[in-house]
Amino acid sequence: MKNRFNLILIVAIAIVFTACQKDEATPVAVPAFSRTQTLTVNFSATKPFAFFGFKDSALVANTDSTTAKWDFGLRLTTFLVNSNASGPGKAGVILQDGIFANLNTAPTSGYAYDTTSTKLAIKDGSWYDYNSVSRSLVPKAGKVFFFRTADGAHYAKMQLLAVDYAPFTGPTPSQLLYKFQYTYQPNGSNSF
């Protein structure tokens, strides 16, 4: 009887320890997310830039222009990348030719940075054609931007879809509407 009691006690203890044992957590891969966004940008070389952050898919306030909350900024046709001369971040950019859906791996090196206020990573005119008849900016087909984000730890790819004038009265517009698609990889991988 005593042996039976000891056996039951041992089995009960084993069940308790087995039930209390923690399972090793399997890491959950956070998938990349894709969005289409429209960003309102000043049609002026003297008004503030519009700053955008891929992580939050949002416009970043100008009061945060000295932080790493934004990845790129736009004003008229000028792009800033949050690095070196343009901001405290570690953002970089590469402009590649190809089809957005087919480019699924961001380069791990070779990124350009804003080295001075006149030597920007994204050169004006490299991504658009100007139509003098319609006075419109037309994004060049097959141009895909790869960004290393301002935190230096994530990647995004982006393609400009359209640049339109915001509704205006008078002789000149005051704002442009940049429509773009992008994919952001939150897990730090360079694969989309």
Looking at residue 99, its pLDDT comes to 97
Q: What is the tally of structural domains in the chain?
A: 1
Domain contains 70: yes
Domain contains 100: yes
Looking at residue 31, its pLDDT comes to 78
Domain contains 111: yes
Domain contains 16: no
Looking at residue 9, its pLDDT comes to 44
Residue range 66-105, pLDDT digits in tens: 999 999 999 999 999 999 999 999 999 999 999 999 999 9
Looking at residue 190, its pLDDT comes to 97
Q: Mean pLDDT across the stretch 166-171?
A: 92
Domain contains 192: no
At 172 the three-state DSSP class reads: coil
Residue range 16-58, pLDDT digits in tens: 555 545 545 555 566 789 999 999 999 999 999 999 999 999 9
Please state, in angstroms and rounded to a whole number, the distance separating the CA atoms of residues 86 and 65: 9
Containing structural domain, residue 54: 32-185
Looking at residue 174, its pLDDT comes to 95
Residue 113's φ and ψ, nearest 5 degrees, are: -130, 160
Domain contains 25: no
Domain contains 4: no
Closest CA to 154 of 67, 37, 30: 30
- Whether the full predicted model's pTM is greater than 0.85, yes or no, is no
Confidence band for 156, pLDDT divided at 50, 70 and 90: very high
Domain contains 137: yes
